[in-house]
Amino acid sequence: MENEDTWQRLFEHHESSLEILKMKFPSPSLIDNPRSSIFFASSITPVLQTLSVEYAGLDFSTLRMPSLRNLVIGSPVSVPALLSALRHMPLLEVLQASTLELKPLPGDVDTRSVLPKATLPRLRTLEFHDIDNCIDFVLSFLAQITPAVGCMLDFSGAYYDEAADFNQASSVLSAYLQNYTASSAVTKVDMKLVVRQVIFRLDNSSSGRFSFGLESDFAEEGIAAHFSALSTIEVGAIKTLTLSLTRSNACHPNFRNFVFSLVSVEHLKTDLQTLDYFQNILLSPGIIALPALKTIYVDCHWESHYLMIVVSCINRRIELGVRPEKLTLKFENSTEIAYARVELDLLFPGELIVRYIT
């Protein structure tokens, strides 16, 4: 339906059994006549549980949906208006948004301290993907939400033209991490510390995967902010560590301190290049890093000429008295495996179980 009056009349009818409503329109930049706002009340859709909107012109300032469980937003929304609407969604379980949906709109108050708070006791999933150039505003929004204990946050964004506020990022990340781990400790951590990008992914036994990632030119400050937040939660139950990092990040003091706190990690997953950068910590003669480490998984894709790094690492760990039990080496094809077997089979101790896979 292209006629706006037709759409508005639709929402004036009582739909007592409607549970799912999805509205998707072209971006206003792609059409000649911008749409006016659409208004509809909870009395019209009293049992609506899922609402998905993309450039629908929906007026969130008047939205009252007490039965709503799932809200998906795919276009710009006024933050104060959305927070106001969320305060009237006590049963909301999932909130998803992507791209530029939470940028401040004309008429929004620019003072973030006056944003209304929203308590959502059943909110279990928060997903915000591809947030560009308005990260601090979105983080201010997240700071106003009190979700359910164990709520899973999946956030990714990039600082480009705006100045990065890593203190705010650390504060929001810390608050959501503490909430996420309140009911169940983290058992798996996946870290990606590469050029311009910092991503942390965590898993516990009761909730979904928690993920928080930032892209920025100020990588070192971003790393410090992430690790500052991680220091506020218990890491003693972490059993699996997946790691990808650059040489400079491997030397970052916050990273070193974090690794030395991982006393229960039994499984390490990494790549040859990262293992090379990571060796100074992993083979430190002072405090033993990852003292409980039993299995090592190394992706050797396109890096077979660095295989002696693995041999050096294994033998040095044995000298330190922390012998690994199993080593898995992943290659691109059977030719690479054949080459690796010739190079390595006689260099590993007989007690070590070695698997070559593609």
Tens-place pLDDT, residues 19-51: 998 888 877 665 555 555 565 666 667 889 999
Instruction: Please indicate, yes or no, if residue 353 is contained in any of the structural domains.
Output: yes
As a residue count, the chain comes to 358
Which residues, listed in sequence order, are joined to residue 295 by a DSSP beta bridge? 267, 326
Q: What is the pLDDT of residues 88-119, one digit of tens each?
A: 999 999 999 875 545 555 555 554 557 889 99
Dihedral angle sign, alpha carbons of residues 311, 314, 317, 318:
negative
Give whichever of 20-34, 159-173, 263-277 has the largest mean pLDDT: 263-277
Instruction: Please indicate, yes or no, if residue 280 is contained in any of the structural domains.
Output: yes
φ, ψ dihedrals at 250, nearest 5°: -65, -25
Structural domains in the chain (count): 1
Residue 303 sits in which domain range?
266-358
Instruction: Please indicate, yes or no, if residue 6 is contained in any of the structural domains.
Output: no
What number is the average pLDDT over the span 66-77?
91
What number is the average pLDDT over the span 221-249?
91
At residue 208's C-alpha, the angle toward residues 126 and 218, to 5°, is: 60
Helix (H, G, I), strand (E, B) or coil at 296: strand
Residues 211, 238: Cα–Cα separation, whole Å: 16
Residue 94 is predicted with a pLDDT of: 98
Residue 43 is predicted with a pLDDT of: 62
Name the more confident of 244 and 165. Answer: 244
What percentage of the chain exceeds 70 in pLDDT? 85
Mean pLDDT of the chain: 86
User: What string of DSSP letters covers 174-243?
Assistant: HHHHHHHTSSS-EEEEEEEEETTEEEEEEEESSS--EEEEEE-S-HHHHHHHHHHHHTTS--TT--EEEE
Residue 113 is predicted with a pLDDT of: 55
Distance between the two ends of the chain, CA-based, in angstroms?
52
User: What string of DSSP letters covers 22-41?
Assistant: EEE---GGGSSSPPPPB---
Instruction: Please indicate, yes or no, if residue 333 is contained in any of the structural domains.
Output: yes
Instruction: Please indicate, yes or no, if residue 160 is contained in any of the structural domains.
Output: no
Instruction: Please indicate, yes or no, if residue 187 is contained in any of the structural domains.
Output: no
Residue 211 has pLDDT above 60, yes or no: yes
Give whichever of 25-34, 80-89, 161-170, 261-270 has the largest mean pLDDT: 261-270
Residue 75 has pLDDT above 90, yes or no: no
Residue 1 is predicted with a pLDDT of: 45
Q: What is the pLDDT of residues 295-306, one digit of tens each?
A: 999 999 867 678
Instruction: Please indicate, yes or no, if residue 30 is contained in any of the structural domains.
Output: no
Lowest mean pLDDT among 7-16, 140-149, 278-287: 7-16
Residue burial 139-164, b: 16+ Cβ < 10 Å; e: rest? bbbbbbbebbbbbbbbbbbbbeeeeb
Residues 91, 255: Cα–Cα separation, whole Å: 39
State pTM to two decimals: 0.87
Residue 52 is predicted with a pLDDT of: 92
Lowest mean pLDDT among 114-123, 127-136, 181-190, 261-270: 127-136
Residue 145 is predicted with a pLDDT of: 97
- H/E segment holding residue 309: helix 308-319
- H/E segment holding residue 153: strand 152-158
Residues 317, 290: Cα–Cα separation, whole Å: 10
Give whichever of 138-142, 174-178, 219-223 has the largest mean pLDDT: 174-178
What number is the average pLDDT over the span 232-247?
94
Model confidence at 324, in pLDDT bands (50, 70, 90)? very high
Residue 260 is predicted with a pLDDT of: 95
Instruction: Please indicate, yes or no, if residue 212 is contained in any of the structural domains.
Output: no
